[in-house]
Amino acid sequence: MKHFTNVKDIGDLSAAVAEALEVKRDRYAFTHLGRNKTLVMIFFNSSLRTRLSTQKAAQNLGMNVMVLDIAQGAWKLETERGVIMDGDRPEHLLEAVPVIGSYCDVIGVRSFAQFESKADDYGERVLTQFIEHSGRPVVSMEAATRHPLQSFADLITIEEHKRTARPKVVLTWAPHPRALPQAVPNSFAEWMNATDYDFVITHPEGYELAPEFVGSARVEYDQRRAFEGADFIYAKNWAAYSDPNYGRILSTDRAWTVDAEKMALTNDAFFMHCLPVRRGMIVTDEVIESPRSIVIPEAANREISAQVVLKRILLSIKN
């Protein structure tokens, strides 16, 4: 594996899940692989899970890890080429990226959508510059349009919990007070569409995701109908994608909050969310604390998904 930015980079999903379960059984079986190899993790945005789980995964493989928060302590970076840099950004990404690459063997990058330009966000401007100018394998730790380490962990979690070969998996929009990126739902949809699950997306009108991510999923505007017979409920908020509302909040309607009454319509479904989650907005306390909530094992699988990805990258560096 050279870079890890989307579902195609992982190849066959059954093989990837099998490898993940193997890693989970003995996460210290490859401690020699990362010896004298360094991972640098660059954060343009906050993180709890990605920061800790990716670092842990790298350490399980024997790697050294360095973490840089661009917003805290590093120079603010200009990302646009051709500008006169007379503003508040003292360094350009075009110097910073190769410099970072010179200190490490693998780079992880977190860079959310800015919601200033759909073309910049969906063109993955920042991630692409890391791939083009660092000379190193790059792992997306949530970029503008996707969060593949999360989606891989979600897939592992569903495979561990499913009770039928072809479960019904429902991605539901839920309300949130801030405008959030489409990366998590886009990516989840991309990975679910790569399985043979019965995959349904439900959201209020106006919250349609980009067609390339919706793919072959069924879209159902009636949340209750979508929940009927579901085996997994995957909740997430996102801001509007469609023009002219790109990046805007169209609704904070708490009628879309996942509660026990709606969960009762399902086939005793498991509740999932990538976290961080706002209780009372996305989901009620009762549902997230219920025995059907698997948000903690889901988050724990982030260490496993990151370890499979880093292991494959290390093997490709060695060969």
Q: Which of 106, 138, 144, 184 binds ligand AN0 (CB under 6 A)?
A: 184
193 binds ligand CP (CB under 6 A): no
Residue 183 or 288: the one with the smaller Cβ distance to ligand AN0 is: 183
Directed axis angle between helix 148-161 and helix 49-60, to 10°?
80
Cβ-proximal residue to ligand AN0, closest one: 180
276 binds ligand AN0 (CB under 6 A): yes
Q: Kindly list the distances between the CA atom of residue 91 and the CA atoms of 42, 80, 83, 125, 281, in Å, as whole numbers in the listed order.
A: 15, 11, 12, 17, 39
Q: Which one-letter amino acid corresponds to residue 120?
A: D
Which residues share a beta bridge with 64?
Answer: 38
Whether omega before 244 lies within 30 degrees of 0, making that bond cis, reads: yes
Distance CA 198, CA 168 (A): 5
Total residues at the site for ligand AN0 (CB under 6 A)?
Answer: 7
Q: Kindly list the distances between the CA atom of residue 139 and the CA atoms of 31, 35, 56, 229, 258, in Å, as whole numbers in the listed order.
A: 20, 19, 15, 36, 32
Q: What angle do CA 273, 172, 182 make, to 5 degrees?
A: 75
Q: Which of 181, 232, 266, 299 binds ligand AN0 (CB under 6 A)?
A: 181
Nearest-approach distance from CB 114 to ligand AN0, in angstroms: 12
Residue 23 or 184: the one with the smaller Cβ distance to ligand AN0 is: 184
- Collapsing DSSP to helix, strand or coil, 260 comes out as helix
- What mask, x for binding ligand CP by CB under 6 A, covers residues 7 to 46? ----------------------------------------
67 binds ligand CP (CB under 6 A): no
Q: Which listed option, ligand CP, ligand AN0, none, makes contact with residue 235 (CB within 5 to 8 Å by class)?
A: none
Site residues (vs ligand AN0, CB under 6 A): 142, 180-181, 183-184, 274, 276
Q: Give the interface with ligand CP as residue ranges (CB under 6 A).
A: 47-50, 142, 150, 274-276
